[in-house]
Structure 1
Amino acid sequence: MKIIAKTLVGALALTTALAAPLKADPTAEVLHYWTSGGEAQAVKALQEAFLARGGSWVDAPVAGGGGDAQAAVLRARVLAGDPPAAVQIKGPNIQEWADAGALGDLSAVAEAQNWDDVLPAAIQDIVKYEGNYVAVPVNVHRVDWIWANPEVLAQVGATVPTTWDEFNETADKLLAAGIIPLAHGGQPWQDATVFETVVLGIGGVDFYRKALVDLDMEALGSDTMVAVFDQMRKMRGYVDPDFPGRDWNLATAMVMRGEAAMQIMGDWAKGEFAAAGMVPGVDYVCASTPSDNGYLLNSDSFAMFNVSGDDNVEGQALLAELILGTEFQETFNLLKGSIPARTDVPRGEFDECAIKSMDDMVAAAEGDTLLGSMAHEIAQAGAVRGAFIDVATAHFNSDMSSQDAVSQLVDAIKLAQ
């Protein structure tokens, strides 16, 4: 993508003075992929805050979880010389667009609001380029969650499993009782989400880092990775026959309705429960997937692309100010199911799942077990991420052996780098 992006944006001028006093009515076209129930409510909160400050909001949603469809739209818009003002992107993609000269410098806003003092170092690393802020973090999502219906689990005398062996035992009991153990959507990014939680749980933090972050070939081709694919084969047997193509929020609804016992999904799923008026600890249960205290991090950000016109520049400045303000960080993340990117937001309104996520993230940061998600473009992006996803989903949807999957993974990652 880096070469393509450089070609596309080479002629774009740099945006300046994003934090300057307002000179025009702030306007912003916002490209995002938050289109489901909880997500839609969350982005609406940002829109309302922007409008309340006199802004003109142009909504540009692109349906399709994971952002792959939006990425294609963004490339086309930049190619046409018409980039949106603000775009929901994250991880290495931010760095690549910044390296291509496509993003404005948010340093003035960051200094005025003391972002360095309120953002964890791991989050700063995601949204900074060469020491300067080029994007605004909206939230922190934990990926490695199990969402469960306690009444369904109780039908087989089970609670949320804490080990993978226990997960398999519980799933087998559910199957025997005619209950779908795992609600899942058969889309490549969802397969990869389950895959990376299994990598973390089977291999541990050090193995995850070697295999999915450092791309260590010995780790990728190891017996531990074979065991990961063995577990994935078991997981394939725990989903219903109608899973292909199902959106993630529809899988969440299966758990909500008691049609399935569990779902492995990031905490954006909690926004669906919240939108339905369900209470954590009562109507549903949240627990981390089995691991050695690892925490898989996903973080949404808005990057401000180079645009012309004072109204667009002022709109970007206003958006940046609002997004990282304490009031919006609280409002947005209560709706989205995530936790604030900044560390000084009061916890009083957050539920037990969010507080557990906050506590676990702090502990993971202190213990060096805070890891970027591969599936959600924090640890890897572009061709490397695609290689992981292709092999994981090909294995999940076929009778491919675990050893063959490992061999294909090693070859695919070598080619992708």
Structure 2
Amino acid sequence: GESWIFYSKEAFEKAGISQEPKTWDELFADLDKMKAAGIVPVAWGGQPWQQTKVFNMILLSQVGIDGFLKIYVDKDKSQASVEGVTKTLEILGKLRGYVDAGAAGRNWNDATAMLITAKAGVQFMGDWAKGEFTVAGKEPGKDYGCMIVPESKGMVYIADALWFPKTGNAETDKAQKLLAEVVMDPAVQVEFALKKGSVPMRSDVDKSKLDVCAQKGVE
């Protein structure tokens, strides 16, 4: 999932923020509180691929799933699509006022480190940021929080895929089938999701074992 905002619980506490913002206006009000508390409001990864991801997660919150597909699949240029992109660019532009001078060219994991040390408040990032928190000994729901970007009716997903070339070799076919079975095993799906922060591909897994972030993603 790529529509995540991760946040430092310590930074939120220092800035007097007691609950997750539900709207973009509430988020900007919270970013102002962090700025006033001397915290970098947004840990920004200033690289094109990261900025594209932030654009996409904002766009989905502005145009919804159907509108998102219209723009990307149908190349729609109707008034509604143009307005959605305009609003998205306005929000993106506003966010630039909350980043620090070191943002240009910053790697995503260096931005996550700013949350881990409570130097910054929030980061817009994919679920893989969880690995950085885990290695640092931080727990979801306790040390850091995770929320889907405000006003989003869904989530931008990226799916990793395994593909198997046809070899005509019986032993290879058997090995490929075994690998597919292992990867798609419900228990393995949960274990992998717990390590990576991703949402399991299967909908019949034991959701109770997932952490708070993954449960939000599944929902």
Q: Which residue of 1 aligns with 2:50?
A: 190
Flag structure 1 segments of 5+ consecutive residues without an equivalent.
Answer: 1-141, 360-417
**Which structure shows the higher strand fraction?**
1
Q: Which residue of 1 aligns with 2:3?
A: 144
With over 3 angstroms needed to count, the CA separation of the structure-2 counterparts of 1:304 and 1:244, relative to structure 1, is: farther
Work out the percentage of aligned pairs sharing the same amino acid: 39
Deviation, structure 1 residue 172: 2.4
CA distance in 2, matches of 1:340, 1:221: 31
Structure 1 residues 302, 324: closer, same or farther in 2, change over 3 A?
A: same
Distance 1:238 1:212, change over 3 A: farther
Residue of structure 1 equivalent to 2:163: 303
Q: Does 1:212 align with 2:82?
A: no
Which residue matches 2:140? Answer: 280
Give 3-state SS (helix, strand or coil) of 2:68's partner: helix
Letter matched to residue 256 of structure 1: I
Deviations 1:219-240 (A, max 9, x none): 5862332221111111122222
- Map 1:144-183 onto structure 2 (within 5 A): 144-158=3-17, 159-183=19-43
Q: Distance in 2 between matches of 1:216 and 1:179?
A: 40
Which whole-Å CA distance do the structure 1 matches of 2:93 and 2:119 have between them?
A: 22
**Paired residues of 2:2 and 2:156 also in contact (CA < 8 A):** yes
Change (3 A) 1:220 1:314: farther
Q: Which residue of 2 aligns with 1:256?
A: 116
Which residue of structure 1 aligns with residue 179 of structure 2?
319
Measured after TM superposition, the shift of residue 341 of structure 1 is: 0.7
Tell me which residue corresponds to 2:96: 236
- The separation in 2 between residues aligned to 1:221 and 1:161, in whole angstroms, is 26
Query: Aligned to 1:222, what secondary structure does the other structure show?
Result: helix
State whether residues 185 and 244 of structure 1, in contact with CA within 8 Å, keep that contact through their aligned partners in structure 2.
yes
Number of equivalent positions: 218
Amino acid at match of 2:87: A
1:87-117: CA deviation from partner (whole Å, max 9, x where unpaired): xxxxxxxxxxxxxxxxxxxxxxxxxxxxxxx
Q: What per-residue deviation string (whole Å, max 9, x for no partner) do you get for residues 364-415 of structure 1?
A: xxxxxxxxxxxxxxxxxxxxxxxxxxxxxxxxxxxxxxxxxxxxxxxxxxxx
Larger radius of gyration: 1
Provide the residue aligned with 1:294 in structure 2.
154
Per the TM alignment, residue 351 of structure 1 is displaced from its structure 2 partner at its CA by 1.1
Change (3 A) 1:188 1:311: farther
Q: How many angstroms does 1:248 deviate by? A: 1.5
- Aligned equivalents of 1:221 and 1:343: distance in 2? 32
Where do 5+ consecutive residues of structure 2 fail to align?
none
* Alignment-mate amino acid for residue 166 of structure 1: E
- The aligned counterpart of 1:55 is none
Amino acid at match of 2:102: D
Paired letter, 1:187: Q
Asked whether the 8 Å contact 1:183–1:254 carries over to 2, the reply is yes
- Give 2:189's aligned residue: 329
Partner Cα separation in structure 2 for residue 252 and residue 306 of structure 1:
41
Which SS does the other structure have where 1:148 is aligned?
strand
Separation (CA, whole Å) in 2 of partners of 1:308 and 1:187: 43
* Residues 109-131 of structure 1: per-residue CA shift (max 9 Å, x gap): xxxxxxxxxxxxxxxxxxxxxxx
User: What is the 5 A alignment of 1:23-62?
Assistant: none
Using structure 1 for the length normalisation, give the TM-score: 0.48
Does the CA-based 8 Å contact 2:57-2:155 persist in structure 1? no
